[in-house]
Amino acid sequence: MDDRPNRPEKPRRLFRVIIPAFPAFNIYSAIARITTALGPVSIASVVNKMEGWDAEIIDENNYDRHGPRDATGRVDHDAIQRNRPADVIGLYGGLSSTILRLYELAARFKRQGLPIVAGGQHFIGDNIPEALDHGVDFLVLGEGEMTIRELLPAIRDKRDPGSVAGIVFRRDGQIVRTPAREPITDFSPLPVPDFSLVRHARVSLHPVGWVRGCGMDCEFCTVKGKVRRPPPEYAVEQIVAQFERRHARHFFIVDDLFGQNREEALRFCTLIRDYQRQVRARFDLTVQIRLDRARDEQLLRAMREAGVNTVAIGFESPIPEELEAMNKKVRPEHMVEMTRLFRRIGFLVHGMFIFGYPMPDGVAWTMPARERVRHFRRFIRQARIDTVQILLPVPLPGTEMTDRLTRQDRIYPRSRIGWEYYDGNFPVFEPDAPLTPEQMQESSRKIMGRFYRFRHMFAIGWHVLVFPTVIFSLHNIRSGWRRWYRTWRNNLMRFTGWIIIRKWTSAFNRSLFAERLAMAKRDLDQTRHKTATTAVKAAPH
């Protein structure tokens, strides 16, 4: 039933993209309040350039106090719709943990008679009919910039969308999947992402996209496909545009493999360095980079001159057997050496780890939780990593790891452990023995709990008091500043991390996850028992 208020036909139509909220407070909540997802901004920026269309974004994780809110404190979408009626709703499904909220929003706007378009990494396999059953009218598969240009006019004109490549929808009750759309290789027609389209938000950390695809083929990752690399000017233009439009100075290049093409990375660094000198500004850039780039001192120094201050590195694990299982051809001791090379050049190092990675078929290796924790703590201490992130393995839709765990019947039933727990903070599958799911979760908290501690609050004050003495007693003031700032910043981050972990623990203790996990383990055991019994009965006697 269409309960939208009657209003005169308007010359321009509005496409509103909504980024669903996290189901609960988690370790991403703090950073989410100062940034946003790049994909929805890119899509909305394309639509905003289309004839007859406007676009905007509501990010429920970055929503300031001046935005309309309902009685529960959440975003009041009804008030937003009354004030500025949208004609089509877009929903971002890039995170599996937010899918239940996405379905809730789809149902809300479906009751108002609005067409619902969704897209993101979550929608693959069985998740496609699930989404269509929960109020989504059109699923965009893969990259959406070109698809949305064709889909919205078809929706507006009420034409059969079957000619639009790269979508899934229902026609007469049957699921229709149109031919796949080729990945984008020519990026020149795409507009620069316009972050002013994100309403009621404060974006101070601007994501920048450059390279698409990844050839590393890690079994736990959803980023796959042939690497498509536009020229460095493509990324430079995004940074320059945000600085000149919004006075932005903090940027995060979201690609996983910065520097993989050495010559293009050097050119990028030169262009950004020269621009900053021209406008007399200094940018703060964070990049994700492979550990082995530490051996390229020329590249590292060029990055520092360009304003790259932080490198995010996927160490994954300090345990040799796990590194081998992940096809990481490096030893922990070499990882320590290369990390110190990054630090020596002046980078802040953010380390990303996976705790309790499940071994592949045929690998008979075990390690108790306590010993695993000891390995992690020792490595973090030896490598002198500035900030760390410890997550649990997540069987994300469409990955080889998910297929393997599914074949092994190890993923807990989603009737008990639903999508809302697929954020890397909860055990959602049965780990390798002798680990229990409770031990796996508690171990990750122990590692971060030892790293992020309350006592760092006192060190923050101490460094403020000694600042003049430390700086002006040194012959090289710039070097002294860097050393002082690194220590002060790390203490601040570690105290802030303690607050985040404490909030997460409080939210976890109020949740019913422990009860859900107990029921999930019981259901999985019953399923295995039935499967085994059926196999015995079917076996020839």
Please check whether residue 259 is in contact with residue 229, taking contact to mean a CB–CB distance below 8 angstroms: no
Residue 1 has pLDDT above 70, yes or no: no
In which residue are the tokens 């300090």 written? 318
DSSP assignment of 211-230, as one string? Answer: -B--SS--TT----S--B--
Using DSSP, state whether 363 is helix, strand or coil.
coil
What integer is the mean pLDDT of 112-116?
97
pLDDT of residue 487: 85
Which of 343-347, 384-388, 459-463 shows the lowest per-residue confidence on average (mean pLDDT)?
Answer: 459-463
Q: Where exactly are the structural domains of the chain?
A: 13-177, 202-452
What is the CATH T-level fold of the domain 202-452, as seen in this structure?
Answer: TIM Barrel (3.20.20)
Position 105 confidence tier, pLDDT thresholds 50, 70, 90:
very high
DSSP-assigned beta bridge partners for residue 310? 286, 348
Counting residues of the chain whose pLDDT is more than 70, the rounded percentage is 94
Residue 409 has pLDDT above 60, yes or no: yes
Position with higher pLDDT, 255 vs 475: 255
Counting residues of the chain whose pLDDT is more than 90, the rounded percentage is 78
What are the phi and psi torsion angles at 109 (to 5°)?
A: -75, -25
What integer is the mean pLDDT of 165-187?
95
* pLDDT tens, residue by residue, 8-27: 556 799 999 999 999 988 88
b (16+ CB within 10 A) / e for 242-271: bbeeeebbbbbbbbbbbbbeeebbbbbbeb
Position 518 confidence tier, pLDDT thresholds 50, 70, 90:
very high
Q: What letter would DSSP give residue 66? A: T
* pLDDT tens, residue by residue, 342-367: 999 999 999 999 999 999 888 889 99
Taking the C-alpha atoms of residue 276 and residue 409, their distance in angstroms, rounded to an integer, is 54
- Compute the mean pLDDT over every residue in the chain, rounded to the nearest whole number: 91
What integer is the mean pLDDT of 367-381?
96
Position with higher pLDDT, 460 vs 465: 460
pLDDT of residue 473: 52
Q: Are strands 308-316 and 284-289 parallel, antiparallel or unpaired?
A: parallel
Domain range 13-177, CATH architecture? 3-Layer(aba) Sandwich (3.40)
In which residue are the tokens 């989410």 written? 32
* pLDDT tens, residue by residue, 188-235: 999 999 999 999 999 999 999 999 988 777 788 888 778 898 999 999
pTM reported for the whole predicted model: 0.92
DSSP-assigned beta bridge partners for residue 7? none
Taking the C-alpha atoms of residue 458 and residue 231, their distance in angstroms, rounded to an integer, is 47
